[in-house]
Amino acid sequence: MASSSTSSLDKSFKYDVFLSFRGEDTRTNFIDHLYHALQNKSIHTYKDDEKIKKGKNISDELIGSIEDSKFYIIVFSKNYASSSWCLDELVKIMECHRTNEHIAYPVFYDVEPSEVRKQSGPVAEAFAKHEKEEAAGKWREALKESADLSGWELKKTADGHEAKFIKKIVEEISLELRSTSFNIDGKLVGMETRIKTLVPALGNGCDDVRMIGIKGMGGGGKTTLARAVFDHISFQFEGKSFVENVRENASLSGLKSLQKQVLSDVLNEDICVSSISDGKYLMKRMLPDKKVLVVLDDVDHIDQLEALAGELTWFKLGSRIIITTRDEQVLVAHRVEFIRDVSLLSDEEAICLFKTYTFWREVPSPRYEELSRQVVRYAAGLPLTIKVLGSSLCGKNELEWVDALKRLETIPLTETLKKLEISYISLDDDYKEIFLDIACNLKGWEKDDAIRALESCGFCAIIGLRVLEQKSLVAIYCDSYGDERVGMHDHVEEMGRNIVRRSHPDEPHKHSRLWKIDEIEDVLANDLGTKATKYIQFHTKKFGPHIYLKGLRKMKKLRFLSVSAVQQLDFSSNLEFSIVVPADFPNTLRYLHWSCYPFRSLPTTFQANNLVALRMDDSRIVQLWEGGERKVLNKLRFLDLSRSRLSTFDLGLSPNLEKLTLKDCHNLLELHMTAGCLKLTSVNLEGSSLMTLDLGLAPNLEELILLECKYLQTLHFPESCLTLRCLLLTYSNLRTLHIGMTPNLEKLDLKKSYCLEELHMANECQKLTELIITHSNLRTLDLRMTPNLKKLDLKECSGLVELHTPVGCLKKLAHVDLSGCLRFRSFNFNIEDYTSCSVDESLEVGPLAELHLFVQSLERCPLHPDNNLPKFRFDCDYKEDRPSLTRNLEMLLSIGMCSCTNLKTFSQSICGLQRLRKLELKGSFVEVIKDLDQLESLEELILLSTNINHLPDSICKLKRLKTLKLDDLRLLDTLPEDLGQLEYLEELGLLSADIKHLPDSIYMFKHLKSLELSSCVLLETLPDDLHQLECLEKLTLSSRMIKRLPDSIYMLKHLKSLKLTSCWIPEKLLENLGRLEHLEELDFSHTMIKDLPGSIYRLKHLKSLKLRSCLLLEKLPEDLGQLECLEELDLSFTKIKHLPDSICMLKRLKYLILSNCSLLEKLPEDLGQLKCLEELSLGKCEFLQDIPNSICEMKRLNFFSLRDCIRVEKLPEELGRLECLEELYIDGTRISHLPRSIHLLEGLLIVGPGKLLEACGFKSKIHPLNPDAFCYV
């Protein structure tokens, strides 16, 4: 029997089984008995009525029933093949079977499989009447294909006894149904998806013993998932036990009672256990005889696992032990191999679950729909919260809902907090402190910064964060820039903050941590500080710094202070501390961060004896201590005074400093090192004005960043700097650089070192992989010291004459740039060892290959005498003494592929690279290699901007070719007719070629996934049988000359991306657009379509819809909002007058482009419901007048343009609520004042009327993306 694919979990069916049979042979006997046996087992079965079989073609009703059935039982009898109806039915069945969502089983009633397969014997006699029919070929193929499937043969099963035969069929179908149908409670929303994720770890069918861990935060659905899996697969085991609440029950009744439960459940008898060790003994002795399924729910200690599932050897092969826990370390310590996270609910799943607990029938009104969304946002995917809130709001009226939601803003949901706090209670005391610090202050910080802050406060932060992560209390994630950050679920954060607040809920000055701005302002402004406060983090503009400093005096145990101020505050440029103003930092401070610190120095009253980290970026500090006092900071490890006014600094005052960051301190002229800095590992002096830098007393440096140090003339390294990994030194005035003993150096960047004449390395840099020296005055460069170099960039080193590259010194070089090296003479590569390369195992490959590239500069290129670019001639000589590894070779060969390549020599050499996978020809090649077919392993061929006018027929013999791209081949007008022989081709791209037609053989591309035809100005038609490209996922056509597109495009069932720009779009395609059900991207830009078809709502996976410059498009379908996955909508340059209200239902929309919609008059009032919107572009909507206030709800909006909206006069007053807004364009509007709330938006860049913006306190600067324009910040 074939096993069912897990993909079937995605779909439910009307019928379990569809019976296909020849009525006159089997209807009144075998089929009747089989049908009733299936029905008696509650297997919903379709058996057609003989009366509906009229005419030659099967009905739409029957086709629908076939598509809506999970299993097919095809009963082959002697006359089955005589019926064209049965044969058409069979063709449809096999079509559905191939999708992997359905399974077909043949039953050979009174014929043999070989007779069906070969159409011989009685099957041949029955089929004879169809020989001349057009469908005969596909009928034969269907008979052959179905006969090859696994099924049942009557005469070889149960001795031909029909009753036993039917019983066996029914039992196996029942078993298959059980393995594919979950029968999950309607309230367990999203459970099928989560079970499917877990299925691979369960390893059904694998004859081993497995322990599977399910981990996640409390209330996240671990137990529910484990129970659903248990109910689903338990029938496959000889014994089973579900042990609930192991943590709680182990403490109440002991582990031996749980051992007794497992033994009694599995063995189905009462087992006595006298002690834990006795229980272990009994389990080891009695369980290996049974294949068991055991679930251990909510485990929190290794002792529990050792007592209940100590070793895999306790269990019989095939057994499965599922463990749920909040603490991943428990699973790791017990050597659990398969560990899976339980995912929280998506917004849509959460809404669905909430409604099942809240509403008896349908949602009463649209207002409840929005309130439901608010509940789901609060729940943040946590099933427990959704259930509790759903039950509590059930039957309540709208006012009660609103009040309940308001209450949640200040009073968290108790039931959720209790569940989550279990994980907190189990923590050691120091980990509890770390957890509270993150919940109250450090959530969202970069991981390294958070570790630095926690270490400053005396914690072991690295292990602490890992423990919290394993207990699902924090999550480490990567932001859009690739930086790791510390994340925490909203309810876990809420739980942590509640722990801090609950003992004194109305007395914030008694809290250990302060984070709410109104409470902080109240405490500081009224001088209410106490010893209780340890942590403060805030951002404010309300009071001046004197007020805050005064309020800190009484906080005698404050260890963490983080203040994010703004540069726009109106501080006097000469503001300093004075005796009159009590300006004092508590001496207990260990971590001090004050962005835009407004004073010129730290106060002398601040002893800083405990200070570990000091960060005052963008400050006005001129000297560290008032009056130039030399105060030693013995505990200081991290110092960041970036963008300050510091002019000099003495490292001798911080002997234990580890990281020094003085980035963009343009006034910095002197850096003194009067004592050894043995712990200093990182120095960043980017943009400083230092002329001399002596680091001789810092031997343990790991990172040195001296980017854009334009005045640096002298740099002294320690004689030995064994730990240095990265040296970035650009735009310097150095003439000579000695980098000393640096054996661990990995990257050396000397970009734009205009004065550099000499580079000296005292030792071999084995780990150096990247060497960049551009625009230098080097004449020679010795690369003997860099054997593992991968990237070498010597761009614009105009004085470079030669490189010393002895044999074997550049084994791993993959990228070379010698452009602009006008005096360069020669360069030899010798590649000897590629043992580290990963290659296709199907190729016979060995470790040795040798490639020589000789590069010679020429005064004049004989092929291009009028070309003024530097001339190089490349000759390739390749030796293949042993089979080669070519992933690195192909990268090196790219050096030789330019407009001045010696084509003849290149052609002879390249054809010897029988394992070459990628070949790109660029420049003035006039012909392609004739013997291309010798490149047996070639997978990718790219021809770019060449003078090639035809392709050799040998290209059709590249049997492994997957990608063929022809770009800017203006002389190419035909393709080989046999191109379709490239049977494994997956990607074909023709861009800017003069191709007139595609070869008819294109339909043979059975594996083609991407077809792009852009700017082929002479191409007018496409083959009609384009729909035969059954694997096609991406189709891109862009040409005004294409007069006719095949109607059959809508039959491309697997198409995900359809781009028909500047084309004529057939009406039939528009009518059937909804049939492209897998479509994710649709682009009809620059076409003449007038309407979108109503069927577009069926594109449930569509993410991007572009209709740019569709000049005849005036309206959109009213049900556009049903495109629930849409993320991008571009309607720019259309004649749209209004947007359908349903657009507000596009909950995943990120980009809405309406620029140059000159007739657009109004936006929907509820546009603010687009909570995920990041970009709203309304530029040049000349009839648009009002902006709905609801847009202030768009919490993720970062780009908003009203440029040249000449009728817009004002912005919404609450615009400041757009907390992510980064760019705002109001130039060309009638806006005459800005809402006061706009000042709440940090770092906002505005383009608009200068007088208006300057009057509101904004300062002009050059636009970061347009040097010719100004913006305001």
Residues known to be catalytic? 89
Q: State the Cα–Cα distance between residues 342 and 324, nearest whole angstrom.
A: 10
The amino acid that residue 224 corresponds to is: T
Phi/psi of residue 1245, each to 5°? Answer: -105, 120
Contact 804, 782 (CB under 8 A): yes
Cα dihedral 882/886/887/889 (nearest 10):
110
CA distance 1099 to 1109: 22
Based on C-alpha coordinates, what's the Rg of the chain?
Answer: 37
d(CA 634, CA 638): 12
- Cβ–Cβ under 8 Å, residues 977 and 954: no
Tell how far CA 554 is from the center of its chain.
48
Nearest of 305, 255, 248 to residue 425 by alpha carbon: 248
**Is there a contact between 603 and 625 (Cβ–Cβ < 8 Å)?**
no
> Which H/E stretch holds residue 358?
helix 347-358
> What gap in Å lies between CA 966 and CA 921, rounded to an integer?
10
Where do we find the tokens 């076409």?
1087
- DSSP annotation string for 882-936: S----HHHHHHHGGG-STT--HHHHHHHHTT-TT--EEEEESS--S--TTGGG-T
CA distance 1182 to 1133: 12
Q: How many angstroms separate the CA atoms of 499 and 127, rounded? A: 80
Distance CA 467, CA 433 (A): 13
CB 671 within 8 A of CB 646: no
Angle at 385 between CA 376 and CA 370, to 5 degrees: 20
Q: How far apart are CA 852 and CA 805, in angstroms?
A: 12
Q: Which of 1088, 1081, 1033, 1031 is nearest to 1065 (CA)?
A: 1088
Residue 839 burial (CB < 10 Å; 0-12/13-18/19+)? middle
Under 8 Å between Cβ of 645 and 669: no
Q: CA-to-CA distance for 1127 and 1102, rounded, in angstroms?
A: 8
Cα–chain center distance at 1043: 40
Cβ neighbors of 785 (< 8 A, separation 6 or more) are 761, 763, 764, 765, 768
874: part of which helix (H) or strand (E)? Answer: strand 871-879
Query: 994, exposed or middle or buried, with CB in 10 Å at 0-12, 13-18, 19+?
Result: middle
Q: Rounded to whole angstroms, what are the CA distances from 397 to 8, 214, 393? A: 41, 39, 8
Q: Could you tell me if 465 and 451 are in contact, meaning their C-beta atoms sit under 8 angstroms apart?
A: yes
Q: Per DSSP, what are the bridge partners of residue 325?
A: 215, 299
Q: Which helix (H) or strand (E) holds 1082?
A: strand 1081-1083
Question: Residue 116: which of 76, 86, 156, 75 has the closest Cα?
Answer: 76
CA–CA separation, 86 and 72 (whole Å): 13
